[in-house]
Amino acid sequence: MPILDPHSFADAEQPQTRHLTLRLTVDFTRRVLAGEAVLRLDRDSGGPLDLDTRSLTIRSVRCGGREVAFTLHEETPILGQKLSLNVPAGESEVTIAYETSPDSSALQWLSPEQTAGKRQPFLFSQCQAIHARALAPLQDTPRRRITYDAELTIPAALTAVMSAGPAAPVGAHTETKVLAFHMPQPIAPYLLALAVGDLEARDLSPRSRVYAEPATVDAAASEFSEVEAILEAAEKLFGPYDWDRFDMLVLPPSFPYGGMENPRITFLTPTLLAGDRSLVAVVAHELAHSWTGNLITNATAEHFWLNEGFTVWAERRIVEAVWGQDAVLLAWANGAKALEGSLSRYGKDSPLTKLKTDLVGVDPDDAISQIPYEKGARLLVLMERFVGRERWDRFVREYMDRFRFSSITSYQFLAFLEEKLPGTPFAVRAEEWLYTAGLPDNAPAFPSAALDAITSLASGFTAGERPAAEVVARWSPGEMVLYLQNLPRVLSSEDCAWLDANLALTGRGNHEILVEWLTVAAGSDYEPAFPRIREVLLGVGRVKYLRPLYSALGRHPRTQALARDCYAAARPGYHGLSRRVVEQVIAGY
């Protein structure tokens, strides 16, 4: 049997699911989704069918109205449980009655106290890379794209959103209501998404609105008010936006990521609500996935850089178009430090620093780092510079036309590049970038005298250099982050006190600045910052912030104790993904 995807039990030779119908009741009391999934197959030839599941209870399997025997295999550590059945000849629909488990890895169930409003519970999903199987039984590989319909029965007081067309109410009872959703475009299963809670919406443009809890919806509307300008810039670069609406949902603080590009409803962390619109590049990033990721999708997690590297490249082109050259140079400079961090975390000879990774036996959640993002984007800039922007932009449009609504590998990308711009892969040493570890020595540079001045000021800190008050006052939030990123990781108490007093760091609400500072403070065993560190660790579940903070706390016995203490208190509120990362970090102390 040819292997389709190292992270799926789906078999290359078996029928393919084309359409999925979900009929689910969202049960907040039992913390389960219960109901049925109907898989419509591409043929009625019958025969064996293997599906992916994780922590699902399978009640029955039916084809053409008759019960069919099934086998739910032993749990395997990374992939979950294979569900095998035999489709009778002549049948092309499989109906599976099932329910999820309260600790489904795809779902986080929040009690009312864990929300901003404190009155209603909240549920959200996060399926990338291989958690859709913990939501529904299916062929959970991006190589098997599906359209879908869903009917959700939810508590009458709540609202639901899905990665699909807008909800249509189809039924109401005293305590519950039924909403219907429809996604007519074929998507990878990891883009299935739902959220249920006390949600309100604000329109930002005719095709975009933001959903959030009532307490945060106005702040969200103001933070993301530039969305239409971002959409228009993206369309100018990459072609018409193909997904009808671009809505956004601001999640509770335990959301483990900065953003997730669920089609038609991007999910966002509330830490973007800095009040100064300084973090909207994340919106540009998730929007860019509408082309690079959702239209053209990585065939498996081993080609993840095709999603993320391409999207960082696209995000930065949007940033340049909307906010200008200085803004984009700053983004590349911040990204360079993040890349350095990931290279040193894995070690620059680690196979996980290749762009095309080998993930047989590796959980894709353990392979996420800045490498596919920042190394991937740098390879594309190298190509762009080699052929010139005009030819590159034409190539990108051709690439989008050729592969739209398909899932591709790195080899397909390189072959298409060679076909359209012969000699380019060889000239930029694309194979070295894809298949060897570390950052090749022809990586593009992004020179900027202004930013170099900030980084050298930071490197001179221990030698006594201090930024003047009027210089600091002129820094944008991103420049402040760049300065902090370039400081030594361990400072004396006096130096920490100087920084905190002169840059007013501990009181910041912008989490990019705040966490960069608290990471230095934690690594420096700087006690006055401990209460704020605790507050952040207990208040926010975003992995991007938890990893560096918990790692820096590992440096000293006293801060290790603080980390263990914070984790014990924060664990019940963290998402499963965040728990996993923090436990790995603490185990390394």
What is the set of active-site residues?
286, 373
Cis peptide leading into 12, omega within 30 of 0?
Answer: no
Q: What's the full length of the chain, in residues?
A: 589
Phi-psi region of 504 (alpha: psi -120 to 50; beta: other; left: phi over 0): left
Identify which of residues 32 and 260 has a Cβ nearer to ligand BES in the complex. 260
Minimal distance, residue 311 CB to Zn ion, in Å: 5
258 contacts which partner out of ligand BES, Zn ion, none, CB within 5 to 8 A by kind? ligand BES
Minimal distance, residue 578 CB to ligand BES, in Å: 12
* Dist. CA 265–CA 253, nearest whole Å: 18
260 contacts which partner out of ligand BES, Zn ion, none, CB within 5 to 8 A by kind? ligand BES
Strand (E) or helix (H) holding 539: helix 530-539
526 contacts which partner out of ligand BES, Zn ion, none, CB within 5 to 8 A by kind? none
Identify which of residues 185 and 578 has a Cβ nearer to ligand BES in the complex. 578
425 contacts which partner out of Zn ion, ligand BES, none, CB within 5 to 8 A by kind? none
267 contacts which partner out of Zn ion, ligand BES, none, CB within 5 to 8 A by kind? none
* Dist. CA 44–CA 93, nearest whole Å: 8
User: How is the beta sheet containing 194-197 ordered, strand by strand?
Assistant: 107-110, 122-125, 194-197, 159-162
* Dist. CA 355–CA 300, nearest whole Å: 13
Write the secondary structure of 231-263 as one string of H (helix), E (strand) and C (coil): HHHHHHHHCCCCCCCCEEEECCCCCCCCEECCC
Which residue stretch of 301-309, 355-363, 381-389, 463-471 sits at the interface with Zn ion (rule: CB under 5 A)? 301-309
Among positions 302-321, residues that touch Zn ion (CB under 5 A) are 308, 311
Minimal distance, residue 307 CB to ligand BES, in Å: 7
Identify which of residues 339 and 439 has a Cβ nearer to ligand BES in the complex. 339
259 contacts which partner out of ligand BES, Zn ion, none, CB within 5 to 8 A by kind? ligand BES
For residues 253 to 292, the per-residue mask of contacts with Zn ion, x marking binding by CB under 5 A and - elsewhere, is ----------------------------------------
Q: Tokens for 526?
A: 């700087």
Q: Is residue 540 within 8 Å of 582, Cβ to Cβ?
A: no
Identify which of residues 267 and 483 has a Cβ nearer to Zn ion in the complex. 267
Identify which of residues 177 and 544 has a Cβ nearer to ligand BES in the complex. 544
Minimal distance, residue 434 CB to Zn ion, in Å: 19
* Of residues 114, 123, 256, 32, the one with CA closest to residue 573: 114
Q: What separation, in Å, do the N-terminal and C-terminal C-alpha atoms of the chain show? A: 43
Beta strands 146-155; 17-27: pairing state: parallel
Residues that bind ligand BES (CB under 6 A): 128-129, 257-261, 282, 285-286, 289, 308, 368, 373, 544
Minimal distance, residue 260 CB to ligand BES, in Å: 5
* Of residues 395, 386, 410, 385, the one with CA closest to residue 305: 410
Identify which of residues 129 and 154 has a Cβ nearer to ligand BES in the complex. 129
* Dist. CA 537–CA 208, nearest whole Å: 32
Minimal distance, residue 368 CB to ligand BES, in Å: 5
Identify which of residues 54 and 542 has a Cβ nearer to Zn ion in the complex. 542
* Of residues 403, 266, 280, the one with CA closest to residue 331: 280
Burial class (CB within 10 angstroms; exposed 0-12, middle 13-18, buried 19+) of 345 = middle
309 contacts which partner out of Zn ion, ligand BES, none, CB within 5 to 8 A by kind? none
Minimal distance, residue 444 CB to ligand BES, in Å: 19
Residue ranges that bind Zn ion, judged by CB under 5 A: 308, 311
